[in-house]
Chains A and B, each alone.
Chain A
Amino acid sequence: DAGVIQSPRHEVTEMGQEVTLRCKPISGHNSLFWYRQTMMRGLELLIYFNNNVPIDDSGMPEDRFSAKMPNASFSTLKIQPSEPRDSAVYFCASKRWGQQNQPQHFGDGTRLSIL
């Protein structure tokens, strides 16, 4: 089975530009999570969806960040406008909703550098 697929793997852009990160969860998984990982703050949950509906976006740092899940097989995380402090590795993870004793499955992340 294919795992969680994220694109792009690396993104380098100048501050002020719009950045869109993409995620395809594992087929049949109906919970999707976006995380950000930095040395200083570790792994932070930004937002998660159940059945394409955002459930908890309390980790989204500010209005410059937005996330959508238009269907069960695709999600985006958008930063507009981007700032150097947004540089981090962004991970997407998925699992089956309602099965709390099941693990999350992670993609390999997008390494984002804002110059």
Chain B
Amino acid sequence: SQQGEEDPQALSIQEGENATMNCSYKTSINNLQWYRQNSGRGLVHLILIRSNEREKHSGRLRVTLDTSKKSSSLLITASRAADTASYFCANGMGGSEKLVFGKGTKLTVNP
């Protein structure tokens, strides 16, 4: 299976705290993407980091990529109750439009 893995599977924190989610993948990549899924909804793209980048920021999101370890992390700073969702990483493979998704981290932010 090419499917990656997110870690942890579930994370519960208090509002205002930071949340860190990790992702490992198995193949060589063009990019690594993070998506959010609210309950009963489709996935929404958050941020994309290219294989030649090491860190990227977008608002309260910070993503790192370590291609030597085939891993990425997503940091959400100053979390809010509205950040409660499942978060998925997906790796885009060379020469293909396909994305391989992990099984996600379920984040709960308690008010």
Name B103's closest neighbour in chain A (CB-CB). Answer: A42
- The CB with the most chain A CB atoms within 10 A, among B3, B35, B98, is that of B98
Pairwise interchain contact B97-A31, C-beta atoms closer than 8 A = yes
Pairwise interchain contact A101-B42, C-beta atoms closer than 8 A = no
Interface of B is mostly: strand
B101's partner among A31, A42, A102 (CB-CB below 8 A) is: A42
Interface of A is mostly: strand
Interface residues on A, range: 20 to 34
Residues of A within 8 Å of B33, CB to CB, are: 103
Binding site for A on B (CB under 8 A): 3, 30-31, 33, 35, 40-45, 48, 50, 88, 92, 96-104
Binding site for B on A (CB under 8 A): 4, 31, 33, 42-43, 45, 48, 50, 55-56, 91, 93, 95, 97, 100-109
